[in-house]
Structure 1
Amino acid sequence: MMVEGIYISALLTGLFGGVHCLGMCGGVVGALTFSLEVKNQASWWRMLPFQLAYNGGRILSYLLIGALFGSLGMLLNSLATLLPFQQLLQVFAGLFMIALGLYLAGWWQGIVVVERIGQGLWQKLAPYAQRMRTVKNIRQAGLYGLVWGWLPCGLVYSMLILALSSGGAFEGAMVMLAFGLGTLPNLLLIGAFAFYFTRLARKTWVKAIAGLSVVVMGLWQIYLAMVVSVN
C-alpha cells in the first residue's frame, strides 16, 4: 500500500497543482498553441498533436529525473536501515507537500527559496528553450517540452523527494509519470482556453482549494509513513 499510496499522491498533486502549472508552464503552452494557430491558421484541435508532443517531452524529462532520484534513494537506503530511512524520506516529502500547498494557496511563500536551487541549471538550459520557441513540427514540440521539463518548480521538487523515498529507479520514474499525467489535463486545457484558465487561477477560492488539496496529500503521505512504522 505504501508505494501505491505514493503513486496516488503524485497523480492527485499533479492534478490539484494546476494553479501552479499556470504560472510556470501555462504561458509556454498557451504561447505554443497561439503561435501555431497564427502560422497554420488552424483550430486548437489541429494543434492537439503538438500539445501532446510538448507534454510528452516534459513528462519524459520527469521520468528520467525520477529514475535518477529513485536510484539515489535506493543507494541511500542501502547505506542505512532500509525501512526507517525510507519512512523518514516520505515524511519529509509530506512536509514539503504541505509547504507547497500553503504556497499554492497564497498563504506562505517559503517554497520560492527552494525553487531558486535549480536556477543555476536552468540558466544553462534557458538559451536552448528560447531557440526552440519557433516550433514548426511535432518533433520540435517534443524537444521543447523535454527542455522545459527541467524548469525549476517547487511542485516538481516535492515529487522528486517522493521519488527519492519510493525505493528504486523504476518506482521513482513511476512517481514522476503519475505526477506528469496528473498535470496533463490542466495543461491541455490551458492550451485551449489559456485566457479563461489564467483568470480563473487568480481567484482566491481556486488557489485555496488547490493549496488545501495538496496539503491533504502531504498529510496523507505522513500518515502512510506512520502506519508502516506502527505495523
Structure 2
Amino acid sequence: MTLDLISAFFIGILGAGHCIMMCGGITTMLTSALPATRARQKPGQAQVIAVQPAQTKNQSGTLPPEPGKTLLVICYNLGRIASYSLIGAIIGFTGSFAARNAGMPLAGLRLVAGVFLILLGLYMGQWLMWLNRIEALGKGLWRRISPLSKKVIPVDSPAKALALGGLWGWLPCGLVYSTLTWSMASGSALNGAAVMFFFGLGTLPALVTMSFGMLTIKQLLTNNIFRKIMAFLIIIYGIYSVFVASGLVF
C-alpha cells in the first residue's frame, strides 16, 4: 500500500502541467477576491481609505504572498483534496465490493490501473486522446454541481474558498480519473481515500506556485517539451505496473 501512495503522489507531481491547464483559472477567482483598498477608522474620526501600496517583486521575480490570499489558497486546496479523498473512498469501496462479488482478484484491477496510466501518459503528451471520452462521462454530474460555485463567488472568505475547492474536486479530469483506478484497486474505502489524498498532495506544488504568481515555474510546468517528458515517464510507470500486475494475475 505504501508504494501505491508514493505512486499516487508522484502521478500528481508529474501531472503538474495538466493541473495548471485544467485548474489554473481558479487562481483568478482567489486573487480577485482580495480588495485593492482597506478601510481604517479611528473612534471619532471620519473613515479613511488606505490604498495598498504596490508590491515589489523579489529576486526570483515573484510577488510575496499576501496573508489574506495565502489563507484562501490553503482553504481552496484543502477543499479540493478533501473532495479527491471522498471520491477515492467511494471508488475504493465500490471497487473492492464489486471485485469480491465477481470473484476478481485485486491484481486484475491493478492491471486496469496500469493500462489507464499508459492512456494518461498518451493523453498528457497529446499522442492519443482517448481519455477525453472518459472525461465526458463525468460531464453530466459536473453540470449539476458547477452551478453551486456561483454561490461562493467572489471568494472573499476562507469558508467560500474551502467550498469552492470542494466543488472543483469534481471537475471532469483525465488525470484524476486515471488515478481513481488505483483507488478502485486499493481494496477498501480507507485505502482508496488515502491514494487520492496523496495524489492531491502531489498536485499542490503546481497549483500553489500558480496561485502566488511564480511565473518562471509556471512556464516550466506548461512547457511542451517538459510536459512530454513527464508524459513519457508516466507511460513507463504504466508499462511497469501492467507487467507487475500481469505476473500476479496470470
1:146-174 per-residue CA deviation (whole Å, 9 max, x = no partner) reads 00000000011011111011000111001
Gaps (5+ residues) in structure 2? 38-51, 56-63
Give 1:194 shift. Answer: 6.1
1:173-193 per-residue CA deviation (whole Å, 9 max, x = no partner) reads 011011011111111111012
Q: Measured at CA, do residues 8 and 227 of structure 1 come closer, stay the same or move farther in structure 2, by a change above 3 Å?
A: farther
Identity %: 34
1:163 to 173, 183, 191: 183
The 5 A counterparts of 1:1-231 are 3-28=1-26, 30-39=27-36, 44-46=65-67, 47-83=69-105, 86-193=106-213, 195-229=215-249
| Corresponding residue SS for 1:166 | coil
**Structure 1 runs, 4 residues or longer, greater than 4 Å off:** 38-43, 194-198
Relative to the length of structure 2, the TM-score reads 0.83
Task: State the distance in 1 between where 2:36 and 2:168 align.
Answer: 22
Relative to the length of structure 1, the TM-score reads 0.89
Which range moved further: 102-111 or 136-145?
102-111
Task: State the distance in 2 between where 1:106 and 1:174 align.
Answer: 29
Gaps (5+ residues) in structure 1? none
| Corresponding residue SS for 1:21 | helix
Task: State the distance in 2 between where 1:116 and 1:205 align.
Answer: 27
Give 1:222 shift. Answer: 1.9
Task: State the distance in 1 between where 2:138 and 2:73 align.
Answer: 25
Q: Which has the higher contact order (CA 8 A, sep 6+)?
A: 1
Letter of the 2:6 partner, please give it: I
| Corresponding residue SS for 1:106 | coil
Larger relative helix fraction: 1
Query: What is the aligned partner in structure 1 of residue 45 from structure 2?
Result: none
Give 1:99 shift. Answer: 0.8
Task: State the distance in 1 between where 2:162 and 2:177 align.
Answer: 22
Instruction: Note the aligned Cα RMSD (angstroms).
Output: 2.0
Q: Measured at CA, do residues 4 and 82 of structure 1 come closer, stay the same or move farther in structure 2, by a change above 3 Å?
A: farther
- Larger Cα-atom Rg: 2
Give 1:130 shift. Answer: 3.0
Q: How many residues align?
A: 225
Give 1:224 shift. Answer: 3.4
Q: Measured at CA, do residues 156 and 20 of structure 1 come closer, stay the same or move farther in structure 2, by a change above 3 Å?
A: same
Letter of the 1:17 partner, please give it: G
